């Protein structure tokens, strides 16, 4: 079996593949100050629960948090005996990356692009609602052109609360109207309708600039929620990054 691991700024997401089937997935909170031993205990407990007696023979990691990469690499090596493949320069992805400096592209964005191409084909726009919200634009034939990065939904909410005296922290639940009738509803409408409108406008501008009619897909923790407030998002892919990691591992066997 294959263990895939995506190290993000907020969460570390694991998945187990048996061939092409995702049989289990789980997540841990990303903690920069956690030791290797702490991650070993947390990961080992969940791995045992999810995999049971099944043997993990291979592993692959993508990371956008450099301090956590050696820790998780060591943990996976210790728990499985496998030397993880790390997504980065020199790893075959099948993409023609046209970023000015390809090393600046987050590994998760490359992984998402690989997965999106496999499922939908170019041209496409992949929107990831993570700690940062990112847009990745892929043209034919498998050209990773670049994208857009701006603060994610959690960052926006936290900033709003921390920098104002009277606005409360709210749970991000759906709203049925644009004009809020109380503070909580107004904040939620601003975040959800505002994010949806921003997605739509940016997609329109990308299409105009690049002269494309792309498939637009979304992933990340808020993808399902934001989809209801956007006319552009056609698909939500909850396992996009895990799927992309499996594809990249297969291309480097």
Which residues are annotated as catalytic? Answer: 108
Give, to the nearest 10 degrees, the angle between helix 36-51 and helix 69-80.
Answer: 50
- 3-class DSSP state of 251: helix
- 3-class DSSP state of 69: helix
Contacts of 91 (CB under 8 A, 6+ apart): 85, 248, 252
Contacts of 200 (CB under 8 A, 6+ apart): 230, 231, 232
- 3-class DSSP state of 16: strand
Candidates 25, 26, 43; CA nearest to 34 is 43
d(CA 77, CA 239): 24
Residue 101: CA count within 13 A, CB half-sphere: 3
């Amino acid at each position: 079996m294959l263990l895939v691991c995506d190290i993000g700024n907020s969460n570390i997401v694991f998945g187990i593949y048996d061939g092409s089937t995702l049989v289990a997935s789980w997540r841990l909170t990303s903690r920069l100050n956690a030791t290797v031993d702490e991650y070993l205990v947390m990961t080992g407990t969940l791995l045992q629960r999810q995999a049971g007696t099944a043997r993990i023979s291979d592993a692959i990691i993508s990371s956008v948090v450099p301090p956590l990469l050696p820790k998780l690499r060591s943990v996976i090596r210790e728990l499985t005996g496998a030397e993880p493949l790390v997504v980065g320069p020199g790893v075959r992805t099948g993409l023609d990356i046209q970023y000015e400096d390809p090393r600046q592209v987050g590994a998760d964005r490359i992984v998402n692009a690989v997965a999106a191409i496999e499922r939908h084909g170019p041209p496409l726009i992949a929107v990831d609602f993570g700690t940062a919200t990112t847009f990745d634009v892929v043209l034919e034939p498998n050209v990773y052109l670049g994208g857009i990065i701006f603060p994610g939904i959690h960052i926006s909410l936290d900033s709003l609360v921390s920098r104002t005296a009277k606005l409360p922290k709210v749970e991000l639940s759906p709203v049925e109207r644009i004009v809020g009738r109380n503070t909580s509803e107004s904040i939620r409408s601003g975040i959800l309708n505002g994010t949806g409108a921003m997605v739509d406008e940016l997609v329109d501008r990308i299409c105009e600039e690049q002269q494309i009619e792309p498939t637009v897909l979304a992933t990340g923790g808020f993808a399902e929620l934001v989809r209801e407030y956007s006319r552009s998002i056609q698909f939500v892919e909850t396992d996009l990054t895990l799927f992309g990691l499996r594809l990249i591992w297969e291309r480097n066997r």
